[in-house]
Amino acid sequence: MQKFSAFLFLLLSACQAPVQRTKGELIRDVKTIHLRFVLSPGKDLAQNLGTIFELRNDSGLHLAAGFQNNSQTYATSNNRILSLFCHDTLALTTKDLGRPFSEFYNGNKLFNINNQLITVNINKPYEPKKYNELSKSWEVDTVLSKLGDIYNLQIVNNQILAFLRNSIQFGSNEIFRLDDCYYLSSIYRNGSFLIFAHLINGKNQILFADWSPGDSLVIVKKYTLDSYSPEYNFPYAILDVDETHFLVGTNIGKVYLVSRDSLIEVHSRTKNEISWQPYSFLNYYNQTLIGQFPSGYLFTYNNSKIKPFYPKVEPQYWNNNHQREAQGLSLYSGKIITGVWPWGEVYSYHHD
């Protein structure tokens, strides 16, 4: 893996809040910090690189850089995107990029692939589109569309790792295929794949595999799950919780802790529960957060235990009996950001 290098000269001063010196004139504090860092993580096995640095002042987080690790509904983050945060009092602006697909109902996944914004519609996974900055419009990505049905995209060793309907492709090479399945739900982290295979015979499997760029993928463990009828056991979110374990959350309230040595069911909804579905995961300090349905609350996973995360955010403008899904989790400015379906609620959690 190539080294990440960054020179942050004058960046801190550029982030200083404007100071009113004369009427109608705003200038910034001229104090600067010269910071240079080089990150050389070695061979790229999709390791979690985490926070690179944080600079704080009396008002809190001021400047930071790092690599996020989260899993949204049906898609896992590309953990090779360096996120930079700079606190500033300048107002944010928004821009409408238009509708990538004309259908009224769209479930669009967004990816940043080599600084190119890509969207994949869950109803049309065979027709990925990219945003053209010059024409200000969406157009079919003719390169990615040749791959077939795209379920997820990741960058490893500066190449695209594509998770397709029943195969996994690295660059131009197919490294895994399973023909007797409806589709695969997969993630690659720390030199290992966690593959959830939805088999045609109804007996779903979780496969644990080792792989590194240039080598062959080797299945080291297979776990066969019970078939569920009429409910269909499939994952909404998969995320690594440490270097050897993955957390898998499914539509029927099952949460599995999976490694090459064991599969442990750490949560199963009770008969009295209408539902309990984990829709999103986020690694946050020494715990993993879970966005849940039907409450829309967050939960924490730590040491094989799932507990409520506080404070609980109640619906603000509607009946509490309505069902809510915490479909998205992310970090910004050191704060947890969660997006809740179906009313488009967005909340931030932060330490006082």
Please report the pLDDT score of residue 154 as a whole number: 92
289's tokens? 């957060």
Q: Please give the sequence-ordered ranges of beta strands (E in DSSP) within 40-158, or none if there are none.
A: 51-57, 60-67, 70-72, 75-76, 82-86, 108-113, 116-121, 124-132, 137-140, 150-156
Residues 197-235 have pLDDT tens digits of 988 877 789 999 999 999 999 999 999 886 555 457 788
Residue 19 pLDDT class (50, 70, 90 cuts): very low
Helix, coil or strand: residue 145: helix
Distance separating alpha carbons of residues 220 and 207, to the nearest angstrom? 8
Q: Is the pLDDT of residue 16 over 60?
A: no
Please report the pLDDT score of residue 161 as a whole number: 95
How far is residue 187 from each of residues 82, 108, 302, 321, measured CA to CA in Å? 19, 19, 20, 34
Answer whether 150's CB lies under 8 Å from 162's CB. Answer: yes
Q: What percent of the chain has pLDDT over 70?
A: 79
Mean pLDDT of the chain: 81
Answer whether 299's CB lies under 8 Å from 308's CB. Answer: yes
Please report the pLDDT score of residue 163 as a whole number: 95
Task: Determine the average pLDDT of the residues in 147-174.
Answer: 94
Distance separating alpha carbons of residues 275 and 64, to the nearest angstrom? 38
Residues 46-90 have pLDDT tens digits of 998 888 887 777 766 677 888 888 888 778 888 888 887 776 655
What pTM did the predictor assign? Answer: 0.82
Please report the pLDDT score of residue 176 as a whole number: 97
Please report the pLDDT score of residue 109 as a whole number: 82
Distance separating alpha carbons of residues 92 and 80, to the nearest angstrom? 25
Please report the pLDDT score of residue 200 as a whole number: 80
Strand partners, 25: 22
Q: Which residues of 292-305 are buried (b: 16+ CB within 10 A; e: fewer)?
A: bbebbbbbbbeeee
Q: Which residue has the higher pLDDT, 269 or 99?
A: 99
DSSP 324: B
Q: Which residue has the higher pLDDT, 150 or 225?
A: 150
Residues 84-107 have pLDDT tens digits of 777 665 565 767 888 888 776 667
Strand partners, 178: none
Helices (runs of H) and strands (runs of E) counted in the chain: 1, 32
